[in-house]
Amino acid sequence: MYRIKLPHFEGALDLLLFFIKRDELDIYDIPISKITKDFMDYLRLMEKLDLEVAGDFILMAATLMQIKVRMLLPREVDEKGEEIDPRADLVKALIEYKQYKEMSEELSIFESDQRKQTFRGNYNFDERESPEELNTLLKNITLYDLIKAFKRAIEQRPKEATHQIRRLNVSIDEQINYILGKVENGKEMSFIPLIGGMKEKIRIIVTFIAMLELVKMGKIGLKESPDFNDFIVYGIENGQDIQLDN
């Protein structure tokens, strides 16, 4: 008996990125015929193995076929008279997904490193172990919302005119106290202003990890913000979720 193991992909874009990386393709000039064939071959293999094909894979297959047909037709032009590349929207989606994926992997590595360290501190918080209670602190917030805001914070941090090599002493304990001081007594504050003025990338990362720890402890909550690339951090009094006005 032969056992076939397919690699796990989080979605259709993840599979396309795999093909691009495997074959060292130019993401800005995707050979649509080749990548469509590889994608369809993968779907057919999943069907032969009686594996459930998710809806986004089927939608992507239809999208690729549509792009392939448009590539054979005369190019459309925009208002400026420039040719419209049928692959433009797909390339944009792939680049954005690739950035989120890389940022997520960077945070996962940092979290893994942090788990190997023990920090001194004088705060005594009872950690909430119930996933249901933890979910109530995340109001309409997804992983992508957090990554988008984190990416924006890194890109917009003040740039230093000179480069100095020095050791930056910053701990999760310090940033936990910093965040609690900003949102004490049920106050709320957007994440971008919360890390405003932080020049060092490591300080922003540690602050981000400290924020996630506080959510896990049940001391703060997160909710969506009118700003697409931001979210709101709010404090919780006596372990009770404060009902804030949206």
Predicted pLDDT at 73: 84
pLDDT for residue 243:
43
How many CA within 13 A on the CB side of residue 184? 6
Report the predicted TM-score, pTM, of the whole model to 2 decimal places.
Answer: 0.44
Distance (Å) of CA 130 to CA 19, 126, 146, 218, 220: 39, 12, 21, 10, 15
pLDDT tens across the length of the chain (246 residues): 333 344 556 778 888 988 998 889 998 999 999 999 999 988 888 777 666 667 778 888 898 999 988 888 888 888 888 888 999 999 999 998 888 888 877 777 766 666 665 555 554 545 444 444 555 566 666 666 677 777 777 777 666 555 555 556 788 888 899 999 998 888 888 888 888 888 788 888 888 888 888 888 888 888 888 877 788 899 887 655 444 443
